[in-house]
Amino acid sequence: MTKPTIRDVARLANVSISTVSRVMNAPNTVIRSKQERVLNAIDELKYKPNALARGLIYKKTNTLGVVIPDIRNSYYADIIRGMEDASKKLGYNLIICNTDHDRNRLFSYLSNFDERQVDGILFTSEPITPDYHKELKRLRKPVVLVSTHSLDYELPSVRINDEEAAYDAAKHLIESGHRSIGWIGFDLSDSIAGLPRYQGYIRAHRDFGLSIRQENIHLVSLWSDDSLDAAHRLFLQNPDLTAVFTASDELAIGLLCYLNERGIPVPEQVSVIGFDNIRMSRFTIPKLTTVAQPMYEIGYRSVEKLHARIEGAEDPILREYLPHELVLRSSTRALVE
């Protein structure tokens, strides 16, 4: 049996095809009795206009658009899993787009989301610049910021408190007796993974009365592959470090590789703490101590939050912070003073 067409609906309702089309596109232009005949015929035939047509009619596509800046980064793996599970529960399909940190790609995907009438947008990781905000506003769609937030604009967000998370990790090292702690972080122009984590590292030093030495701090541009280089520069300038805190697990994995090549034992000579708790951090040698972000929960909660916005439900907290956790494994040790 073939699928019923608009033609079959028109025949059964005894109206013209254009009337069926008008019922779907501009129902106010069709008199009530004809409307009912068409709707009954649609029911009886189980006629399914395709999603494009339905999008025109019902204005709901049960689809959420996700923009991700770098899908290669394993950080997003569990976020997407969380998003998927919540979407499944709430009846959405996710379409995921990778912007590669490219402004033009981002705008192209946002415009695509607009045209395809996604019900809402999950915007991950990148800082909200004025032009991004303008574009998001123009789309007039519910948006939730994921692993990013905005203090300048009234946009709902779900993330951890990066400054506090970094503070806790640095504090742990200091309380374990470390006094010379390296920092491999992201560029401070990055207001999400860069600046706040750096600030947490600095605040912990200040709170414990430790001086901050510029040669202990090395910044790499975001998502760069040069973790080996950064590690090399750091130890060249200060071979006496007893611990290094990196702003991501991927940076920490590069550092472990560098230290192993140089024959510097971890944690005997140098303790290493990462940030994120990606899947691979359980399999490094030695296993990585890290600040765990609840990635799955961030993804899950973002979809729930977006759903609330789409449905116009109550959602009293604009900027949500989920708890982080320090996961102690084998790459750190306490110094005997």
Residues that bind a second copy (CB under 8 A): 6, 16-19, 21-22, 25-26, 29, 50-56, 63, 71-72, 74, 77-78, 80-81, 84, 88, 93-98, 100, 105, 108-109, 112, 114-117, 253-254, 256-257, 260, 279-280, 282-287
Smallest distance, a second copy to C-beta of residue 140, A: 12
Smallest distance, a second copy to C-beta of residue 256, A: 7
Smallest distance, a second copy to C-beta of residue 274, A: 12
Smallest distance, a second copy to C-beta of residue 76, A: 8
Reference 75, options 163, 144, 174, 160; nearest CA is 160
Nearer to a second copy, 84 or 126 (CB): 84
**Backbone φ and ψ of 158, nearest 5°:** -135, 120
Smallest distance, a second copy to C-beta of residue 123, A: 16
Smallest distance, a second copy to C-beta of residue 234, A: 17
Smallest distance, a second copy to C-beta of residue 209, A: 36
Taking a C-beta distance cutoff of 8 angstroms, is the pair 276, 251 a contact? no
Nearer to a second copy, 18 or 189 (CB): 18
Nearer to a second copy, 63 or 150 (CB): 63
> What is the SS3 string spanning the chain?
CCCCCHHHHHHHHCCCHHHHHHHHHCHHHCCHHHHHHHHHHHHHHCCCCCHHHHHHHHCCCCEEEEEECCCCCCHHHHHHHHHHHHHHHHCCEEEEEECCCCHHHHHHHHHHHHHCCCCEEEEECCCCCHHHHHHHHHHCCCEEEECCCCCCCCCCEEEECHHHHHHHHHHHHHHCCCCCEEEEEECCCCCCCCHHHHHHHHHHHHHCCCCCCHHHEEEECCCCCCHHHHHHHHHHHCCCCCEEEECCHHHHHHHHHHHHHCCCCCCCCCEEEEEECCHHHHCCCCCCEEEECCHHHHHHHHHHHHHHHHHCCCCCCCEEEECCEEECCCCCCCCCC
Nearer to a second copy, 114 or 325 (CB): 114
Nearer to a second copy, 225 or 314 (CB): 225
Smallest distance, a second copy to C-beta of residue 173, A: 22
Taking a C-beta distance cutoff of 8 angstroms, is the pair 301, 158 a contact? yes
Nearer to a second copy, 4 or 177 (CB): 4
Nearer to a second copy, 6 or 210 (CB): 6
Nearer to a second copy, 239 or 283 (CB): 283
